[in-house]
Amino acid sequence: MDGSVSIFDILNNFWSVFVSYWWVILPVPFWYIFKIIWFDYVAFYAVDCWNSRYKWAILEVIPPRDLERGPKPMEIFYTGLSGVMTTHNTFDVWLKGAFRQDSFSLELISEEGRVHYYIRTLKGRRNLVEAQIYAQYPEAQIIEVEDYYTKFPKTIPNRNWDLWGTDFVFVKPDPYYPLRTYDQFEEDITGEMIDPMAALVETMGALGPGQHFWLQFVIVPVQEPESIKGGKALADSLKGRAVAPTGGRLWFDIVDVLSNLIAGLFGPPEFKELAKKKEEQPLDTRLSPMERDVLKAVEENLGRNFFKTKLRMIYLGRREGFDKSHVSAVTGAIKQFNDLNMNQVKPEDISKTYGQIFFIDRIVNLRKRKIYDRYRRRNMDGANLMLSTKELATMFHFPDLSVKSHAITQTTSKLGVAPSNLPTD
């Protein structure tokens, strides 16, 4: 038809523009692709060649027997770890991969029913970790050990070994809704705290020969302005206050003017006046009791340091004794930290080691090898949690004397300082 424009003409015009201005169009996407690949390289491969500082140590922490202190000391421990935050220069960022803060990996391991506590840290941060542990638990023992990962085949699954694993993510999109913390684990009649580690340790201690369970928390401290800004935006929204979008204040003002203009043209003015009066009411009358509790919990949590956290678990073992019911048991123990009115953690679907519809076996094996390698490298790919020191102390701490499990490796006797009058010769 005369005067009509065909799809061929449109594509030809696009191609002509691309040929003429490719030198303007291509550098932008190529830059972002190069940045992603380069940072991944220097973060996990090149740093060992350029800087001996990036050598890692695996520390096994053996908690004291009959520990009378709850999770509170671990909250102080995590606060001490946040002291590693620093500002990196351009050279460190691009050549040493220092585009994030130093990370730590907290790992709760069940080795055929024997539960161990491990902390993976940079060798340069070992003194910091040990000092913080001994400050809160003077009778604990800390031993540098070989990475337990090396005891297993480099590739799993294989003919003799199988595994199941997943990462955990928040249910709510805003990461500053808190989880259930240790002060909420109390017996109603006596008021005594119920140690949340009891259920987790008991389920992990039920494994048989050839079976292993790994629970990993890879944590990186978050700069305080970043955590305060994100948490304050949530608190303001819970209070009914206007929250400026991420585009900036100017964009927020433009949106506000346009929205009010449209509302003024099509909405009854008396409704706007009632809504404005409602916003001016005190929070005690405007919010329900549950909404007030949520707001209080959010604001109290903002007074603590935060860590970006990758939480993942892997169950692996020899095929003859492999039983996936252990996965459900440990996942159920983790769910005790969920609060339906606040926030919850759940297994991330994209990281689960299962396949659907097409090429199921290939997809399953690919996902299993991927999460196995990511665990070994302790990386933080994908979605992360945002946990405060209190939430971390609730989910990863040394059990108190109320936990009578024989699965935990503990010190056999109390440690004391040497007498001051010992001879020096």
- Cβ(95)–Cβ(41) below 8 Å: no
390 and 273 within one domain: no
Instruction: Report whether pLDDT(271) > 50.
Output: no
Give the pLDDT band of residue 5 (cuts 50, 70, 90): low
Q: What is the 3-state secondary structure (H, E, C) of 331-365?
A: HHHHHHHCCCCCCCEEECHHHCCCCCCCCHHHHHH
Range of the domain at 241: 236-289
pLDDT in tens, 87-111: 666 666 666 666 567 889 999 999 9
User: Residue 304, class by beta-carbon neighbours within 10 Å (0-12 exposed, 13-18 middle, 19+ buried)?
Assistant: buried
Instruction: Say what the pLDDT of residue 264 is.
Output: 57
Instruction: Say what the pLDDT of residue 410 is.
Output: 67
Name the average pLDDT for the chain: 80
Q: Is 211 left (phi over 0), alpha (psi -120 to 50) or beta?
A: beta
Instruction: Report whether pLDDT(421) > 70.
Output: no
320 and 184 within one domain: yes
Name which residue leads in pLDDT, 405 or 123: 123
Q: Element (H or E) spanning 203, and its range?
A: helix 197-204
Instruction: Report whether pLDDT(33) > 60.
Output: yes
Instruction: Report whether pLDDT(241) > 50.
Output: yes
- Residue 146 CA to residue 424 CA, distance in Å, equals 34
The reply to whether 295 falls in a domain is no
pLDDT-wise least confident of 45-59, 223-237, 342-356, 410-424:
410-424
Instruction: Report whether pLDDT(47) > 60.
Output: no
Instruction: Say what the pLDDT of residue 67 is.
Output: 79
Q: Element (H or E) spanning 327, and its range?
A: helix 325-334
Instruction: Report whether pLDDT(126) > 90.
Output: yes
Instruction: Say what the pLDDT of residue 50 is.
Output: 45
331 and 351 within one domain: yes
pLDDT-wise least confident of 141-155, 229-243, 248-262, 343-357:
248-262
- Residue 346 CA to residue 179 CA, distance in Å, equals 12
Instruction: Say what the pLDDT of residue 274 is.
Output: 46
Name which residue leads in pLDDT, 210 or 264: 210
Q: What is the mean pLDDT of residues 195-207?
A: 89
Instruction: Say what the pLDDT of residue 165 is.
Output: 94
329 and 216 within one domain: yes
322 and 212 within one domain: yes
177 and 120 within one domain: yes
Residues 6+ apart with CB under 8 A from 215: 107, 108, 109, 200, 204, 311, 312, 313, 330
- Residue 59 CA to residue 75 CA, distance in Å, equals 19
385 and 367 within one domain: yes
Number of domains in the chain: 3
- Residue 136 CA to residue 129 CA, distance in Å, equals 11
Instruction: Report whether pLDDT(51) > 50.
Output: no
185 and 315 within one domain: yes
The reply to whether 408 falls in a domain is no
The reply to whether 204 falls in a domain is yes
Instruction: Report whether pLDDT(38) > 80.
Output: no
The reply to whether 38 falls in a domain is yes
Give the pLDDT band of residue 43 (cuts 50, 70, 90): low
Instruction: Say what the pLDDT of residue 91 is.
Output: 67
Residue 36: helix, strand or coil by DSSP?
helix
User: Residue 312, class by beta-carbon neighbours within 10 Å (0-12 exposed, 13-18 middle, 19+ buried)?
Assistant: buried
31 and 99 within one domain: no
217 and 76 within one domain: yes
Give the pLDDT band of residue 194 (cuts 50, 70, 90): confident
The reply to whether 401 falls in a domain is no
Share of the chain above pLDDT 90, in %: 38
64 and 44 within one domain: no
The reply to whether 298 falls in a domain is no
Instruction: Say what the pLDDT of residue 275 is.
Output: 47
Name which residue leads in pLDDT, 138 or 242: 138
Q: What is the mean pLDDT of residues 294-321?
A: 91
329 and 269 within one domain: no
- Residue 359 CA to residue 370 CA, distance in Å, equals 16
The reply to whether 318 falls in a domain is yes
The reply to whether 417 falls in a domain is no
